[in-house]
Amino acid sequence: MTDIIDRLEFFLADRGIYMLALILFAVGIYGMIACGNYMKKIMCMNIMQVSIIFFFLTFGQKEGGTLPIALENIFSAEAYINPVPHALMLTAIVVSLGTTGVGLALLMKIKDIYGTIEEEEITGKGGK
């Protein structure tokens, strides 16, 4: 039993976590294409962006590494995890927030003009 758990843990750390990111990414893109509701599209877009953030954070991780804050008794670089992906993802989060904001603003405007945010209804009203 413990063997299976060990192997599962290993799998998760080695491949599985990336597969999870990939699945999230695929779900996001699928949603953006398939959903008819613009609000759902924006949500799916966020899922997709989160999956990328997730991906960056996982490959920045390593076994036995600790937070990249200088501790008094640890000097070697091996003991810390790579801080760069985290820094990058802070920026990426800000970017995705900005994109979402713009998307929501657009939705308000679309709602004003067409009175709906359903793709089908808008196409019907000549919004193609």
What separation in angstroms does the CA of 83 have from each of 1, 17, 78, 89, 94?
A: 36, 19, 12, 10, 17
Q: Does 39 bind another protein (CB under 8 A)?
A: no
Of 5-13, 65-73, 120-128, the segment contacting another protein by CB under 8 A is 120-128
* Contacting residues for 29 by C-beta, under 8 A, at least 6 apart: 44, 48
Kindly state whether residue 24 participates in binding another protein, applying the rule CB under 8 A. Answer: no
How many whole angstroms separate alpha carbon 99 and alpha carbon 8?
37
Binding site for another protein (CB under 8 A): 25, 29, 32, 38, 41, 45, 48-49, 52, 55-56, 59, 82, 84-85, 88, 91-92, 95, 98-99, 102-103, 105-107, 109-110, 113, 122, 127-128
